[in-house]
Structure 1
């Protein structure tokens, strides 16, 4: 067998492998495009929290319906992405998943006032919370970025709540974000993107503190508050 024939055979296999990978990437892109569009719809639905308190409950219900659709989309991703190749293709869904982590966390906070755990967010999306055992999963760093995005949205909500005369909400937000901030400070963050995003949290904290301080000097803090 000639050397040329051997080389052609080897590189022919390389090309076959590259073509298969490209086909898989196209399938993943198609699924992610549809699932990402659902996240944008959920983002729009939840914007009502900034101007209509009475519509928050119905917005959360609508967001939950959209999360169910996203769950089905993530199910398709689990089917097509090889279990051992999660990180090879992660860039396709990383930012989308960070947005869902934020949206789910926001919805749960609006409904209950508590933190959505990593396991809870993973469950809503229909993926595993365990990184090493189950292939497709909710990466912890994506979950944490979602929480940081949540803090930014809540700092905005604190300002808009005062605008519409709700002086309790900023205090609730302040307590929650301060506790989250303390939790993040326990972490030794090595991921550059996550660390930079955490550095921005101090501005969200400052904005919320300014809102609460302004309420305090104006004598508008609720009398029953412990703050």
Structure 2
């Protein structure tokens, strides 16, 4: 009888813990649903870059507004996450965060032509950039995955820029993506999702190289600006 009581108490505790975990998952799931919707809006806004050069700056401004809303959502996620449980619940926001890394990196590239650092993207989202086992942070693999998505989007932009008669942007994209490609080759990636995503990069590079080559043989490649001494 006593042993039966112990077993019942044990499994009652198990059920209580499972119920609490399910409640946390539900809260996180609902927050991610809202924040994920904002990322889809930002994706739609930024699609203008492929067909309307004049619309790029307004699109970046609108995307920045949406990132501010996303920042509020990430603050709610940070608050809802129990200490030490980041990786326990990470599957709920991993894909979404990779998408934000891509969108923010794309916006910053369109604005400045430079790479958005891991710290910069974390700052835009209002989360920690530190790799740690406690608390909410921007996982480095999620950041890298976002950069690989950026390369795919820029390879598409290189093609569409030529269609619009913009022969300068493919050159800019080519230089940027080649430098990123060289950086990724310094990493010892294991055979996982990131490695598979990295394998796609060679096709993006090839597509950009074909655009640049086509511009060259057609005599449309912009000539470099002459260097003026002192």
TM bracket (short chain): over 0.9
Deviation at 1:190, TM superposition (A): 1.9
Counterpart CA distance in 1 for 2:91 and 2:151 is: 24
Taking the aligned partners of 1:83 and 1:219, their CA distance within structure 2 comes to: 60
Superposed structure 1 runs of 4+ greater than 4 Å apart:
none
What residue in structure 1 maps to residue 110 of structure 2? 110
Cα shift readout 1:168-190 (whole Å, capped 9, x = no counterpart): 00000000000000000000012
Contact between 1:128 and 1:138, CA under 8 Å: does it hold in 2?
yes
For 1:131 and 1:33, the matched residues in 2 are separated by 25
Residue number in structure 1 paired with 2:211 = 211
The 8 Å contact of residues 84 and 133 in structure 2, kept in 1 or not, is answered as: no
Cα 1:57–1:134 shift into 2, 3 Å: farther
Instruction: Identify the residue that residue 126 of structure 2 maps to in structure 1.
Output: 126
- Equivalent-residue separation in structure 2 for 1:154 and 1:223 (angstroms): 21
Aligned mates of 2:56, 2:126 — CA distance in 1: 24
Give the drift of 1:31: 0.2
Give the match for residue 54 of structure 2. Answer: 54
* Residue segments in structure 2 that go unaligned for 5+ positions in a row: none
Aligned length: 226
Q: Distance in 1 between matches of 2:223 and 2:215?
A: 12
Q: Secondary structure at the match of 1:200?
A: helix
TM-score, structure 2 normalization? 0.96
Structure 1 partner of 2:78: 78
Q: Is the 8 A contact 1:128 1:134 kept in 2?
A: no
Aligned equivalents of 1:139 and 1:133: distance in 2?
A: 10
Distance 1:94 1:150 in 2: 16
Q: Quick one: structure 1 residues 42 and 133, their matched pair in 2 at CA, closer, same or farther if it must change by over 3 Å?
A: same
1:15-94 correspondence to structure 2 within 5 Å: 15-94=15-94
Conservation of the 8 A alpha-carbon contact between 1:43 and 1:103: yes
